[in-house]
């Protein structure tokens, strides 16, 4: 009887950790792909239509960097909107396993919007993003770290 309870507990633990690993909702520290420095805290949420969106909730201060307060170079509807509160990730859809596809990501510093896909690490602590124009091979990678 004790071994069945132990197996049941282990099974529930494994299932709950796998479920957590698939969930990208929450706070993420974005990391600059060029400098490796933290850039901003982004809160990812699941929308009513099942897609994921992420908004900037805090810009991470760093030496020698003065962040923009508004999205000056961004296309409509983002033009001159405050960066804090701005949805920089939109339309991201769960694909399979730990993969998400079909999203768009806005770089508020350049105003460019990229197609994006993402893959969550097995432990759920890192989100590997790929932003690209047209073909996935032509793009940039970023790794975001789950904020605890």
Dist. CA 74–CA 22, nearest whole Å: 31
Residue 13 host element (H or E): helix 2-22
Q: What is the pLDDT of residue 8?
A: 44
Bond from prior residue into 10 cis (ω within 30 degrees of 0):
no
Q: What is the pLDDT of residue 137?
A: 86
12 is a domain residue = no
Contact 89, 54 (CB under 8 A): yes
3 is a domain residue = no
87 is a domain residue = yes
Token representation of residue 77? 């509807």
Asked whether residue 91 carries a pLDDT value surpassing 50, the answer given is yes
Q: How far is CA 134 from CA 113, 118, 138, in A?
A: 11, 16, 7
Q: How far is CA 79 from CA 3, 55, 72, 73, 114, in A?
A: 61, 15, 6, 7, 16
Q: Which domain holds residue 34?
A: 24-146
Averaged over 17-27, what is the pLDDT?
69
62: CATH: 2.40.128.520
Number of structural domains, the chain? 1
107 is a domain residue = yes
pLDDT tens figures, 45-81: 999 999 999 999 999 888 877 788 999 999 999 999 9
Q: What is the pLDDT of residue 62?
A: 81
Q: Model-level pTM?
A: 0.82
Q: What is the pLDDT of residue 134?
A: 87
131 is a domain residue = yes
Asked whether residue 14 carries a pLDDT value surpassing 70, the answer given is no
């Amino acid at each position: 009887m004790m071994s069945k309870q132990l197996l049941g507990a282990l099974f529930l633990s494994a299932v709950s950790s796998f479920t957590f690993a698939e969930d990208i909702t929450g706070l993420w520290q974005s990391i600059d792909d060029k400098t490796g420095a933290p850039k901003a805290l982004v809160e990812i949420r699941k929308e009513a239509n099942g897609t994921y969106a992420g908004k900037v909730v805090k810009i991470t201060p760093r030496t020698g960097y003065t962040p923009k307060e508004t999205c000056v170079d961004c296309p409509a509807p983002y033009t001159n909107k405050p960066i804090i509160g701005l949805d920089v990730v939109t339309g991201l859809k769960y694909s399979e396993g730990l993969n998400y596809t079909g999203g768009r990501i806005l770089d508020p510093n350049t105003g460019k919007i990229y197609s994006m896909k993402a893959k969550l690490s097995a432990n759920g602590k890192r989100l590997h993003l790929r932003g690209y124009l047209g073909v996935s091979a032509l793009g940039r990678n970023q790794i975001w770290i789950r904020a605890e």
